[in-house]
Amino acid sequence: MREIVVGGAQLGPIQRADSRAAVVERMLALLERAAKEGCGMVVYPELALTTFFPRHWMEEQAEIDAWFETEMPGDATRPLFDRARALGIAISFGYAERTPEDRHFNTSILTDRAARIVGTYRKVHLPGHSEYDADRAFQHLEKRYFEPGDLGFPVWRNLDAWMGMCICNDRRWPEVYREMGLQGVELIVLGYNTPSVNSQNGAEGLEQRLYHSELSMTAGAYQNATWVVGVAKAGEEDGHPLMAGSIIVDPNGYVVARAEGEGDELIVHACDMDRCTFGKTTIFDFARHRRTEHYGRITSQTGVVHPE
């Protein structure tokens, strides 16, 4: 048995005025709780260090850059790395990355038990828009502040398992899971900051949005015989609600742990990586059953093209 006790460290709202140091203290409190639960790995949300700043219109580059990290770990996050190393717990979390070349990405990292970064992922499927939209209740400016990720969907050997990452909107795209599935992924970790409402569904659409979030992750887990850990930032940030719904999904697509509220919360499950084997070798034996000669349209076009 290759068992990893995984903790999903959901974070409640982070306000625009909250410092990184204050957020890291909350992350440390969840890490300590995870250590008491016997966790070997803890997963935090997308943009875990700050509020979801893409909801705010900003024009000055210096104001924008203030939300980005230029090194990892940096001064604010080093206590988290130090404590994770001391506890022997691997961690994954998302943040806004500014590279030495002055490129900007929505990024997640993965460490081993010694707090060494073993994997970096940059969000590929950026939602929203790049220009100010006066018709929106709030802005969603990921396309303004971030570039699409340039690293693809790699997997890494960590804690004796094959692990991969994606971020928020990525979870809705089946190609994301299949890219990692074709590399033998056994554990996909992802964080998200998803609004509870949008212009189409209003407040009454929360149940539907939670269902679609869960459906995306459970389907991806089942169809690729992998564990999936999806962790939210939740609650009302700067007057704008984010949905919760953090879950851990087994390789058969069953939800085995689920967050109950919208605040800081830890969900825990002992994930046996060997439970991926049956799906990979029997139900979805890619080597024997995939017919790639019929899948060319998936990568040759983007939008819908009707047959002539």
pLDDT in tens, 143-174: 999 999 999 999 999 999 999 999 999 999 99
39, 97, 166, 168: the catalytic one is 168
* pLDDT at site 204: 58
39, 46, 233, 237: the catalytic one is 46
Q: Is the pLDDT of residue 96 over 90?
A: yes
The partner residues of 121 in beta bridges, in order of sequence, read: 108
pLDDT tens by residue, 244-284: 999 999 999 999 999 999 999 999 999 999 999 999 999 99
Check if the beta carbon of residue 250 is closer than 8 Å to that of residue 221.
Answer: yes
Distance CA 74, CA 68 (A): 11
* pLDDT at site 162: 98
* pLDDT at site 198: 61
pTM of the model: 0.96
Kindly provide the b/e burial profile for residues 59-86, where b requires at least 16 CB atoms within 10 angstroms of the residue's own CB: eeeeebeebbbeebbeeebeebbebbbe
Residue 224: other Cβ atoms inside 10 A: 28
39, 97, 123, 142: the catalytic one is 123
63 is catalytic: no
pLDDT tens by residue, 198-252: 655 555 588 999 999 999 999 999 999 999 999 999 999 999 999 999 999 999 9
36 is catalytic: no
Task: Tell whether the torsion through CA atoms of 15, 263, 159 and 163 is positive or negative.
Answer: negative
Mean pLDDT for 38-55 is: 98
Question: How does residue 135 score in pLDDT terms, banded at 50, 70 and 90?
Answer: confident
- The CATH class, in words, for 3-287 is alpha beta
